[in-house]
Amino acid sequence: MSPPTPLLCTLVLLALPFLLEAQGTPAASPAPAAGPDPVAILQGARQYSTLLQLLTTRNLVEEIGNLLKNNRDGLTIFAPTDNAFNNLPPGTLNLLSPDQQTQLLLLHVVGKYYSKDTLSTASNPVRTLATNYTLNFIGGNNQVNVSTGVVNIPVNNELYVKSPLAIFSIDSVLIPPALAGGKAPAPSPSAGGPTAPSTPAEGPTAPTPQPVSGSYRRRRVDWGVLLGAGVAFLGLLR
């Protein structure tokens, strides 16, 4: 098969600058962040805007991101849904000091990766990122509960479970005993008050466009098209 050979050489020569450029580009632009992004996962799952808003106002997004990068044991996050926050007795969050809010949020984060299976084997009480608050994991048949002592709820949906990060959805906010006693008003039987803690109106926090990686991707596509055309052309010759 001698005819295709010079043509192939020409094609390769033509493609060479593109190939070199494509290889050079990633070094110039910042490498894409390795590893899972908890905020992106929560944003994608939609029903966690209150949690995301609180994490942002308490400046915990970066801290959690850093921990995820640096903590060899990984992280497990229990993510209360927007409904969970809405079901708190009215005003619960507002009665907490900023520090207490931070501790409350950190109670939902464990500095170790647990799958649903290993959750039930954890030795209680399990330390959390909150200074003084711990959690207990209570394994039943096929069901694991997470408990603070005053809140005891099943661990439901796995939003993301791949070492080093696990995110489980929960239907109640994990209130520690220290913050339940007298701090929050007792839930009234007529708990119809739709006092959502100023949830952002629908808008998930601004999407972050990434023009650099975008153009990089486009160039790769161009190169792919070129290669595809070359292969198709060679096929025609046969």
Ligand X SMILES: *[C@@H]1O[C@H](CO)[C@@H](O)[C@H](O)[C@H]1NC(C)=O
120 binds ligand X (CB under 6 A): no
140 binds ligand X (CB under 6 A): yes
# residues contacting ligand X (CB under 6 A): 9
Are the beta carbons of 20 and 218 closer than 8 angstroms? no
Give the integer Cα–Cα distance in Å for 36 and 15: 34
Instruction: Report helix angle 38-45 to 61-70, nearest 10.
Output: 120
Give the integer Cα–Cα distance in Å for 1 and 232: 17
Residues from 153 through 182 that contact ligand X (CB under 6 A): 153-154
103 binds ligand X (CB under 6 A): yes
149 binds ligand X (CB under 6 A): no
Cβ-Cβ contacts under 8 Å for 208 (sequence gap 6 or more):
none
Our CB check for ligand X shows the closer of 144 and 167 to be 144
227 binds ligand X (CB under 6 A): no
134 binds ligand X (CB under 6 A): no
At closest approach, how far in Å is the CB of 140 from ligand X? Answer: 4
87 binds ligand X (CB under 6 A): no
Which span (25-33, 89-97, 148-156, 209-217) binds ligand X, by CB under 6 A? 148-156
**Is 28 exposed, middle or buried (CB count within 10 Å of its CB: 0-12, 13-18, 19+)?**
exposed
Contacting residues toward ligand X, per CB under 6 A = 103, 131-132, 138, 140, 145, 152-154
